Amino acid sequence: MAPLATKADLLAELRGVLGPAGCLQGADMPARNRTDWSFLPPADPLAVLRPASTSEVVAILRHCHAQGIQVTPQGGMTGLCGGARPLDGGVALSLERMSGVEAIDPHGMTMTVLAGTPLETIQKAAAEQGLFFPLDLGARGSCTIGGNIATNAGGNRVIRYGMTRDLVLGLEVVLPDGTVLPMLNKMIKNNAGYDLKQLFIGAEGTLGVVTRAVLRLYPQPGCTSAALCVARDYDAVLAVLAAARQRLGPLLSAFEVMWSDYWLQATTRVPGVRAPVEIAGGSHAILIEMQGLDHVIDGARFESLLEDLMEKDLVQDGAVAQSLGDIGAFWATRDAAAEFAHPTVIGPHISFDVGLPVSQMDAFAARAKAALADQIGCQSVYYGHVGDGNLHVVAWRPGADPQPLPEASRIVYGIIGEMKGTVSAEHGIGTLKKPYLPLSRGPAEMDLMRHMKAALDPQDLMNPTKIFDGSP
């Protein structure tokens, strides 16, 4: 392709290919395409491009490759690390017009979808066929499967079904130069050479654009049980986790823990959140969920587990959900963090998504809480997908605007580095966590990542400056 004279020429060409609805500029560019939930300031891209097909994605990438224009893929813009925030002067490539379920195979238990399909649409389409797509997170109504794949999203049921990586059988990806990789595998077993799709899962849009996916479905659970329990201390939490794994086996679908300060913020300040159990300082609230096959048999199994926990004095107080409404109310305590930004709850705050061995979480929480308070006057609360080794931290200096993000990050990630944890368990690196990635990845790993990026994207045009900077 012969180089065009200016960026204006490029956009005129692309408008010809995509039509006016596919190429938005100036005041027509929606605010939502300028930044994500990282709350980084809005960017000023050249254009928001909205392809309606894989061939239009190919056309965009070929043009941008030829002209040296940086491209940032975008899904639902719910990412928390700045990964989908476009670059000033680059283009945003939004998958929002590439949405829809293309096929469901009830025998092979697969679903083929376009990358811009919202997660909730996929969950509902599976349920209509009596099937189940287990990925679930608070942003389900807005996030897209392409974004879930690009961030290797985790969410609420990882302990049973794994991360997004475990739920993807095949992908169609367009490489930075416009080459299409049609890897729409539908089989669980396929050892024919490298499993190339895994390269793009969790790559945060830095290696190519995901345009289609084949997802793995499961049978609809026959019944769901949930309980909220209170454990006196973290040793008891670990004992409850071991018992739940032993007694429920693969039926255990969630094991979420809220430290007492988090519980207090959630249940006393967030409107609509009820406290079905009493919790004292130093103790932990545990949400245990089981997805079973048979209400009578598995329901009895769940109740017997709880009786046993009470008898052994591992839990001090407990409530068992009697209805789907109760299960929703229990999850509302866990999901209350989404409301913490409201000024009547906590207001501006800093969120962390760290990972470390389950046995070390309480020690980490105690160290981080003390260091944040003593060194920079920050309060902090702790909760997370403890069964998956994933802890979330919410920290804030009351009244501060802006919040002390670099100082708090240095403290939290410094402790994580010393404890050999990870600076990102599920949200990704984006731009926000870039300086801290070397705390979780050694020099040889960083070098290999840069070599892989350079091999697929030698001009560094595909979502550059995300995850890490520069070439090898």
Point out which residues bind ligand FAD (CB under 6 A): 36-37, 72-80, 83-84, 95, 115, 137-139, 143-144, 146-148, 150-151, 153-155, 204-205, 209-210, 338, 426-427, 463, 466
Q: Closest separation between CB of residue 4 and ligand FAD, Å?
A: 25
CA gap 430, 80 in Å, rounded: 8
Q: Using the 8-state DSSP alphabet, how is residue 21 labeled? A: G
Say which residue the tokens 């996916």 belong to: 213
Q: Give whichever of 151 and 283 is closer to ligand FAD, judged by the CB atom.
A: 151
Q: Closest separation between CB of residue 84 and ligand FAD, Å?
A: 4
Neighbours of 180 (CB within 10 A): 17
Q: Closest separation between CB of residue 466 and ligand FAD, Å?
A: 6
Q: Give whichever of 208 and 292 is closer to ligand FAD, judged by the CB atom.
A: 208
Say which residue the tokens 């080794």 belong to: 389
Q: Closest separation between CB of residue 171 and ligand FAD, Å?
A: 9
Instruction: Answer for the pair 209, 178: CB distance below 8 angstroms, yes or no.
Output: no
CA 338 to chain centroid: 13
Q: Give the 3-state DSSP-derived string for 176-230, with helices as H, strands as E and coil as C.
A: CCCCEEEECCCCCCCCCCCCCHHHHCCCCCCCCEEEEEEEECEECCCEEEEEEEE
| Both tokens assigned to 246 | 């032993």
Please, which residues bridge with residue 312 across strands? none
Q: Closest separation between CB of residue 396 and ligand FAD, Å?
A: 17
| Both tokens assigned to 302 | 């769940």
Q: Closest separation between CB of residue 277 and ligand FAD, Å?
A: 23
Q: Which residue is nearest to ligand FAD (CB)?
A: 147
Q: Closest separation between CB of residue 463 and ligand FAD, Å?
A: 5
Q: Give whichever of 74 and 267 is closer to ligand FAD, judged by the CB atom.
A: 74
Nearest to 56 by CA among 206, 178, 200: 178
| Both tokens assigned to 250 | 């693969």
Q: Give whichever of 36 and 177 is closer to ligand FAD, judged by the CB atom.
A: 36
Cis peptide before 402 (omega within 30 of 0): yes
Q: Using the 8-state DSSP alphabet, how is residue 442 labeled? A: -
CB within 8 Å of 106: residues ≥ 6 apart: 129, 130, 131
CA gap 105, 131 in Å, rounded: 10
Q: Closest separation between CB of residue 191 and ligand FAD, Å?
A: 25
Q: Give whichever of 395 and 425 is closer to ligand FAD, judged by the CB atom.
A: 425
CA gap 19, 12 in Å, rounded: 10
Q: Give whichever of 202 and 404 is closer to ligand FAD, judged by the CB atom.
A: 202
Q: Give whichever of 95 and 251 is closer to ligand FAD, judged by the CB atom.
A: 95
Q: Give whichever of 157 and 318 is closer to ligand FAD, judged by the CB atom.
A: 157
**CB-neighbour burial class of residue 299 (10 A; exposed 0-12, middle 13-18, buried 19+):** middle
Q: Closest separation between CB of residue 93 and ligand FAD, Å?
A: 8
Nearest to 469 by CA among 455, 456, 176, 454: 454
Q: Give whichever of 120 and 317 is closer to ligand FAD, judged by the CB atom.
A: 120
Determine if residue 282 is left, alpha or beta; phi over 0 gives left, psi from -120 to 50 gives alpha, anything else beta. Answer: left
Say which residue the tokens 């708090």 belong to: 408
Q: Give whichever of 161 and 302 is closer to ligand FAD, judged by the CB atom.
A: 161
Q: Closest separation between CB of residue 85 and ligand FAD, Å?
A: 8
Q: Give whichever of 115 and 228 is closer to ligand FAD, judged by the CB atom.
A: 115
Q: Closest separation between CB of residue 136 and ligand FAD, Å?
A: 8
